């Protein structure tokens, strides 16, 4: 077995909010052309017909207000440019049009094309360049947060494409249920920031299995004491609020929350793992965003295996049904481990169903039943059993790196 996989004991997933790949990491094409980001060939028409190019003018806060629409009909417009004909082809030409619909202000609508310069995001861009960055990680659904996050926990959204209450229908168990009920038993935890921020997993997990949950402070403590679960899912702080420690600034990076606060949060998660030498060598950390938040990305989401559910024309709000047979817009995703070669670029297709898919295959080998979407999703960590395909194994180094970056958190 490759030593990286042999040593791997913990998988940690940090899921941030509502930013597209081009918006956050598109600048890195200038550093490495193999990273599929911003080029000067890209544009979107505004409502006057003028071509609007992506510009490195994104601001940390105050620019994407109102929150860009990213419900199913708006994302459909963003992906298909407003074409609703039966044989339409996705072209990623509707982002400016979609944002215009919210304020009817041509100038303001062009801000949806803005992206961050590399030096504005020292944490995310450093991690992307130092470890493995995914060129083709897509949201699971061309829609909003709740249904996309469901894919990360269950491998399906049970037919939902919206923000409404989502009830788990048998037989698909959460990744946490699979792990804690396995023989031999595994451990799993979902960390929310604090009780004032809580979690997006209220309906099915928090109100039924609160023992699965911990706070950000507990995550830090568990890292320090070496008590991290086999699998951990970390949620950022979703709101500005008071706490015993003072003013807590939202760190989820959801527009119009401050992007620098999210940078600091990402760095703190990385730092907490890296500070414990035993944990660092035995952990893989995935940083991924739940969906693009209505912000421009240029890569057409590919078709995928249909789920066994179908959303009705009424549910989608587009007048057309949806068979969960196309992925959502591309999002930033980075896999971190000292066993990953510097500057790794992954161009295979992934979506959030890859998260329970990977965790299941790595810790359990197999599990049934799983959703059609999950069983067909690619894995980002190879199963912990020989033979391992060296062309697919991202934790491929024979000797652990000692040159990994540190942040002053």
Antiparallel, parallel or unpaired: β 283-289 and 333-336? antiparallel
In this structure, the strands spanning 333-336 and 344-346 are unpaired
Looking at the Cβ atoms of 101 and 384, the one nearer to another protein is 101
Judged by CB under 8 A, the residue of 13, 15, 17, 155 near another protein is 17
Q: Phi and psi for 221 in degrees, rounded to 5?
A: -65, -45
Q: In sequence order, which residues have a C-beta less than 8 Å from that of residue 179 and are 6 or more positions away?
A: 185, 186, 187, 188, 230, 231, 359, 363, 364
Residue 239 and residue 200: Cα distance in Å, rounded? 12
Shortest distance, position 200 Cβ to another protein, whole Å: 6
Q: DSSP characters for 108-174?
A: HHGGGGB---GGG-HHHHHHHHHSEEETTEE-SSSS-HHHHHHHHHHSS-TT--SSS--PPPTT---
- Contacting residue, 31, 182, 196, 345, with another protein by CB under 8 A: 196
Please state, in angstroms and as integers, the Cα–Cα distance from residue 214 to each residue in 5, 96, 151, 192, following that order: 27, 40, 21, 6
User: C-beta of 146: minimal distance to another protein in Å?
Assistant: 6
Least Cβ distance, residue 159 to another protein (angstroms): 17
Q: Which residue among 184, 210, 386, 387 contacts another protein (CB under 8 A)?
A: 210
User: Cis omega (within 30 of 0) on the bond before 171?
Assistant: yes
Min dist. Cβ of residue 228 to another protein (A): 21
Residue 339 pairs in a beta bridge with none
Q: Which stretch, 262-270, 278-286, 298-306, 344-352, contacts another protein (CB under 8 A)?
A: 262-270
For residue 315, state whether it binds another protein (rule: CB under 8 A): no
Q: Which residues contact 212 (CB under 8 A, 6 or more apart)?
A: 176, 180, 188, 189, 190, 205
**Minimum CB separation from another protein for residue 394, in Å?**
20
3-class DSSP state for residue 266?
A: helix
The C-alpha atoms of residue 104 and residue 120 are separated, in whole angstroms, by: 29
Under the criterion CB under 8 A, does residue 177 sit at the interface with another protein? no
* Exposure string over 16-47, b if 16+ CB within 10 A, otherwise e: bbbbbbbbbbbbbeeeeeebbbbeeebbbbbe
Asked if residue 126 binds another protein (CB under 8 A), the reply is yes
Question: Between residue 56 and residue 75, which ones bind another protein under the rule CB under 8 A?
Answer: 60-61, 67
- Residue 157 CB, shortest distance to another protein, in Å, is 14
The reply to whether 218 sits near another protein by the rule CB under 8 A is no
Strands 188-192 and 137-138: unpaired
Q: Which one among 187, 260, 305, 376 touches another protein, defined by CB under 8 A?
A: 260
Among 91, 102, 198, 305, binds another protein (CB under 8 A): 198
Q: Please say which residue, 241 or 392, places its beta carbon nearer to another protein.
A: 241
Tokens, residue 269: 């998660």
Which CB atom, from 83 or from 194, has the smaller least distance to another protein? 194
Of the candidate residues 3, 56, 122, 343, the single one contacting another protein (CB under 8 A): 122
Specify whether the CB–CB gap between 238 and 250 falls below 8 A: yes
Q: Point out which span in 35-43, 44-52, 249-257, 331-339 binds another protein (CB under 8 A).
A: 249-257
| Calpha distance 344→207 (Å, rounded) | 40
Which of 97, 254, 326, 330: binder of another protein (CB under 8 A)?
254
- CA–CA separation, 207 vs 210, rounded Å? 6
- Residue 397 binds another protein, judged by CB under 8 A: no
**Site membership for another protein, residue 170 (CB under 8 A):** no
Q: How many residues bind another protein (CB under 8 A)?
A: 53
Q: Which is nearer to another protein, 59 or 393 (CB)?
A: 59
**Binding of another protein at residue 118 (CB under 8 A)?**
no
Give least dist CB 155 to another protein, A.
20
Binding site for another protein (CB under 8 A): 17, 60-61, 67, 122-123, 126, 144-146, 163-165, 194-200, 202-203, 206-207, 210-211, 238-242, 247-250, 252, 254-258, 260-261, 263-264, 267, 403-409
């Amino acid at each position: 077995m490759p030593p990286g996989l042999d040593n791997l004991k913990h998988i940690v997933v940090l899921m941030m909010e509502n930013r597209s790949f081009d918006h956050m990491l598109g600048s890195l094409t200038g550093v490495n052309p193999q990273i599929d980001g911003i080029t000067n060939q890209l544009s979107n028409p505004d409502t006057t017909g003028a071509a609007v190019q992506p510009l490195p003018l994104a601001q940390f806060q105050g620019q994407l207000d109102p929150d860009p629409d990213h419900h199913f009909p708006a994302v459909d417009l963003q992906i298909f440019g407003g074409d609703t004909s039966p044989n339409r082809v996705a072209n990623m030409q509707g982002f400016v049009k979609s944002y215009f619909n919210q304020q009817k202000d041509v100038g303001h609508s062009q801000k949806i094309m803005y992206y961050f310069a590399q030096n504005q995001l020292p944490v995310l861009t450093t991690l992307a360049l130092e470890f493995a960055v995914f060129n083709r990680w897509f949201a699971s659904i061309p829609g909003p947060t709740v249904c996309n996050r469901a894919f990360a926990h269950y491998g399906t959204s049970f037919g939902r494409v919206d923000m409404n209450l989502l009830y788990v229908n048998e037989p698909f168990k959460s990744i946490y249920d699979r792990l804690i009920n396995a023989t031999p038993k595994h451990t799993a935890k979902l960390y929310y920031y604090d009780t004032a921020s809580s979690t997006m997993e209220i309906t099915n997990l928090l109100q039924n299995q609160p023992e699965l949950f911990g706070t950000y402070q507990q995550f830090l403590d568990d890292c320090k004491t070496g008590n991290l679960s086999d699998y951990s899912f970390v949620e950022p702080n979703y709101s500005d609020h008071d706490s015993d420690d003072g003013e807590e600034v939202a760190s989820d990076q959801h527009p119009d929350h401050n992007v620098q606060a999210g940078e600091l949060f990402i760095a703190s998660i990385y730092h907490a793992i890296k500070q414990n030498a035993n944990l660092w060598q035995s952990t893989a950390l995935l940083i991924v965003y739940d969906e693009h938040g209505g912000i421009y990305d240029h890569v057409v989401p590919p078709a995928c295996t249909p789920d066994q559910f179908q959303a009705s024309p009424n549910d989608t709000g587009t007048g057309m049904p949806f068979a969960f047979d196309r992925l959502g817009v591309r999002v930033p995703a980075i896999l971190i481990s000292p066993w990953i070669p510097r500057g790794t670029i992954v161009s295979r297709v992934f979506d959030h169903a890859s998260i329970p898919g990977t965790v299941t295959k790595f810790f359990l080998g197999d599990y049934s039943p799983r959703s059609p979407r999950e069983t067909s999703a690619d894995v980002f960590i190879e199963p912990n059993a020989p033979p391992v395909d060296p062309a697919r194994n991202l934790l491929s180094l024979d000797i652990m790196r000692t040159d990994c970056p540190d942040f002053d958190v």
